[in-house]
Amino acid sequence: MRCPAVLDELGLGIVWFDSMGAKSACVTACWGKVVIDPGAAEMQPSYPLSASEKRRLRKLAVEAITRACSRAEIVVVTHYHYDHHILPSDEDLRPMDPRTLFLNGKKLFLKNPNSYINESQWHRARRFLSELLSLASDSLSSYLMEPASTDFEDPVEALSIALSRDFGSYQRRREELLRKGRQWFEKLKRLWSTGPWIRSGIELSDGTRISWGEGSVIELGSCRIEILGPWFHGIEYDRTGWVTPVVIETPRGAVFYTSDLMGPAIEDYAYEIARRKPRVVVADGPPTYLFPYMLNRVNLERAIDNAIHILESGGPEVMIYDHHLLRERRWRKRVERLFDAARKLGVELVTAAECLGSPPLIDTL
């Protein structure tokens, strides 16, 4: 298996993923100096394990993430779902010191909590930052400000490839969903325009610095880290909000960490990933455990087609395909076309657990 060797060469480490039994997509980069998305959550009720075993696995994930963060200089949070960030008050951190995850002079690059964020994550971000600042005997109220902008471009208008596609019999339904999505976006713009916002560039007494990730470029030794975004967490106007993908460039090649793109489900995102020709893609597959109720056939096939396009670009040697995908037993069958394409192209398509030498937990249950 090429996966471990290529990851070592590019300085990428796997901390925890869904294939290991708890919801997470946590990696290290730059040979352990960077942690991306230090979060973990218990598997959903339909996952075939007891509640106590789900709790145990989640605690193991938190312990692994804490160890990784204690050695890191930089922490990146791409969005505010609990499988991508841990609250300092989390009971699974006890008796560990939560400051080892986030403070002690680290540089934190967090998803902008003020715009291109849904209402749920707007509030989660403020709770997260309040708890972080309280660890340093500080208060969020000291960093509030009036909204810096009331003008927010509709990101769907820039998705020229996705908008040009004809979805046949699904097209009318798609246009209806886009219309409703625009209404949702307009509602969010009112939230972002009224604030209060949190200012970026917070500096704490121990040297910790908190900044917003979007558009950041970080130079760290031989690594260059670019935080993109915001990109939709799923399809156009996905109600789960936006994420900020991360590109890690090293002298030996690049890694593209997609965060939660659900496939990717949007063609323009797949084309941008392919254009960058990363040697490794760390991707969350489509959430097949929600099929067919919250994930329909059209969007499932879009996600598979888009992943195939990335593999066909000639860049990836390895795609770590995990996270949402590894939550039900039929996941491999659902995306069988992608596995067939990977074999023909000579690309190693693996879960995080397989890259570490173990089968995905869901395959053993």
Domain ranges of the chain: 3-364
Amino acid identity of residue 179, one-letter, is R
- Tokens standing for 240? 């789960």
pLDDT value for 315: 87
In Å, how far are 79, 81, 123, 126, 280 from 120, measured between CA atoms? 11, 9, 6, 10, 32
* DSSP assignment of 179-206: HHHHHHHHHHHHHHHH--EE-S-EE-TT
Q: How far apart are CA 240 and CA 175, in angstroms?
A: 19
Q: Is 138 exposed, middle or buried (0-12, 13-18, 19+ CB in 10 A)?
A: middle
CB 34 within 8 A of CB 72: yes
pLDDT value for 337: 98
The C-alpha angle with vertex 140 and arms to 136 and 146, in degrees rounded to 5, equals: 150
CB 307 within 8 A of CB 263: yes
pLDDT value for 94: 86
pLDDT value for 349: 98
What's the pTM?
A: 0.98
pLDDT value for 96: 85
Nearest Cα to 316, choosing from 281, 275, 267? Answer: 281
Q: How far apart are CA 316 and CA 302, in angstroms?
A: 19
CB 317 within 8 A of CB 2: yes
User: How far from the centroid of its chain's Cα atoms is residue 239's Cα?
Assistant: 15
What's the count of helices (H) and strands (E) in the chain, helices before strands?
11, 18
CB 13 within 8 A of CB 19: no
Q: Which CATH number fits domain 3-364: 3.60.15.10, 3.90.1150.150, 2.40.160.20, 2.40.50.140?
A: 3.60.15.10
365 residues of the chain, pLDDT tens digit each: 989 999 999 999 999 999 999 999 999 999 999 999 999 999 999 999 999 999 999 999 999 999 999 999 999 999 999 999 999 999 999 888 899 889 999 999 999 999 999 999 999 999 999 999 999 999 999 999 999 999 999 999 999 999 999 999 999 999 999 999 999 999 999 999 999 999 999 999 999 999 999 999 999 999 999 999 999 999 999 999 999 999 999 999 999 999 999 999 999 999 999 999 999 999 999 999 999 999 999 999 999 999 999 999 998 999 999 999 999 999 999 999 999 999 999 999 999 999 999 999 999 99
